[in-house]
Structure 1
Amino acid sequence: MNTSRRLPRVLALAVPLAAVLATAACGDAGDSAASASAVSTAVVSAQAPADQAAKGTVASNRLTVATAGKAAQAALAKCQADGLGFVTVSVVDRAGNVQAMLRGDNAAQHTVEASRQKGYTAAAFGANTSDLTDRTKGDGATVADLPGTLFLAGGVSVKSANASIAGIGVGGAPDGRADQACAAAGLDAIAGSLQ
C-alpha cells in the first residue's frame, strides 16, 4: 500500500483537529480572552485588492478554525447529551474540505465519510439536507447521483450574508432527525458570530 498519497490528507485533518483541541483547552482552562479573540472573527475572507476581479480572481469566505471547532464541539455535545455520543461531526467549507472533525467514542468508520458528505451537500446546495431529499426522487438521474453528496438528514448549511460558506454534518445516529438536531446545535453555537 502506498502511504505517501495518504500523508497530505492525514496532515490536512490533523492540523485543524489540533487547533480544535487547543481551542477546547483554552476554554476549559478559563482563558476566555484567548477564546473570545479566536472566535471574534468567525468568518475569514480571502480579501483582495479592488482590482482583483479584473485580474480574474474572486474572494471567498470561510469559517475560522476556531469557529469550525466550536460548531463541531457543540454538535457533538448535543449528541452526547441525547445519549448519541457514537456519531462523527464534520464541519466543511463550501468545497467540502474538512475544517474540523470530531469522532465520538465508538463511532463506526462509516460515520466519518457520512458526516463529511452531509456537510458538503448542505454547503454546496445552501440548504439543510433534510430539505433536499425530495430532489433525489424521480425517474432517471437525480442530484443523488452527484459524487460525494449524501441526501440524508443530518447536514445544515452555514451562511454568511445569505451565502452558503460551510456545512455541518453529523452521521451515526439511528435516526437522521437526531443527526440533524445535533448539526443544528452546532450552527446555533456559532450563529451570533457569523457576519
Structure 2
Amino acid sequence: MSNETQQQQVTAIGKPARTRLVIAGAAVAVVAAGAVGIASVNAQRPDPAAQAPIAADVSDADLQQSTHLTLAAATRAAQSALDAAVKANQRVTVAVVDRNGNTIVVLRGDGAGPQSYESAQEKAFTAVSWNAPTSQLTERLKSAPQLADIPGTLFLGGGAPVQAKGGAPIAGIGVAGAPSGDQDEEFARAGVAALG
C-alpha cells in the first residue's frame, strides 16, 4: 500500500474520531456547566435555619389588640338577617365585615338583585367605620356632603354596627335589596340581635 493510500485512510479514520472527540468534549462541558449552575443556585439559597426570624421583645405598651367575630358568629348573624328578610318576603343580600372593613361573609338570597351584593358590603363597611347605623349617618351628609366621596362607603339605610361590651365596634352588617333602607336596616338589626 502506498503512503498516499495510508494517509487517506488515516485521514478518513481521523475525521470521525475527531468529530466524536469534539462532541464528547461538548457534552462534558454541558454537564459541567449544569453542575456549576446547580451549585451556584444552591449557594444562593441559604440554609433554612439561617433564615430564622429575628425575635424582638416588644413591650405590651407597644401592642394593640382588637376583637373580631368568628366566621361561625358572622355566618349566624348573616343567616338571621337573611331569614328576617325571607320572612318579610324580601329578596336581599347580607354582608358582614370585620372591624377593619374586610368581608367575613356574604349571603345572597334567592332572587336578590345584582346591585345588592356590593351595596350590602358598602353599608356594612360604612356602619362599622362610623360605629353607627347608616340611617343615622345619612343625616350627617347634610352638614358634610363630602363624606359620600369616601371610597367603599354607602350612606343609605341598611347598615348596622356590631359592638363589643363597652361600645367598641367589632363588625358591621349590611343588607341591601329591600324596597327601603328602613327595611334593610331592620333585617341588619335582626342579624345583630342574633349575636346576643
1:77 corresponds to 2:95: no
The CA distance in 2 between the partners of 1:118 and 1:52, in whole Å, is 34
1:96 corresponds to 2:101: yes
Residue 107 of structure 1 and its aligned partner are, at CA, apart by: 1.1
The CA distance in 2 between the partners of 1:108 and 1:52, in whole Å, is 47
CA change 1:182–1:51 in 2 (3 A) is same
Give the alignment's TM-score, normalised by structure 2. Answer: 0.67
Match for 1:76: what amino acid? L
1:156 corresponds to 2:160: yes
Structure 1 unaligned blocks of 5 or more: 1-48
1:51 corresponds to 2:59: yes
1:124 corresponds to 2:129: yes
Which sits farther off after the overlay, 166-175 or 92-101? Answer: 92-101
CA change 1:67–1:50 in 2 (3 A) is farther
2:147 to 143, 147, 150: 143
The CA distance in 1 between the partners of 2:178 and 2:118, in whole Å, is 14
1:68 corresponds to 2:74: yes
Considering fraction of residues, name the structure with more helix: 2
CA change 1:188–1:141 in 2 (3 A) is closer
Indicate the RMSD between aligned Cα atoms, in angstroms.
1.6
Runs of 4+ in 1 over 4 A off after TM superposition: none
Q: What are the residue-to-residue correspondences of 1:3-42 with 2, within 5 Å?
A: none
The CA distance in 1 between the partners of 2:145 and 2:115, in whole Å, is 25
Give the alignment's TM-score, normalised by structure 1. Answer: 0.68
The CA distance in 1 between the partners of 2:59 and 2:75, in whole Å, is 34
What residue in structure 2 maps to residue 114 of structure 1? Answer: 119
The CA distance in 2 between the partners of 1:97 and 1:111, in whole Å, is 17
Match for 1:108: what amino acid? G
SS across alignment from 1:95: coil
Considering fraction of residues, name the structure with more strand: 1
Structure 2 unaligned blocks of 5 or more: 1-56
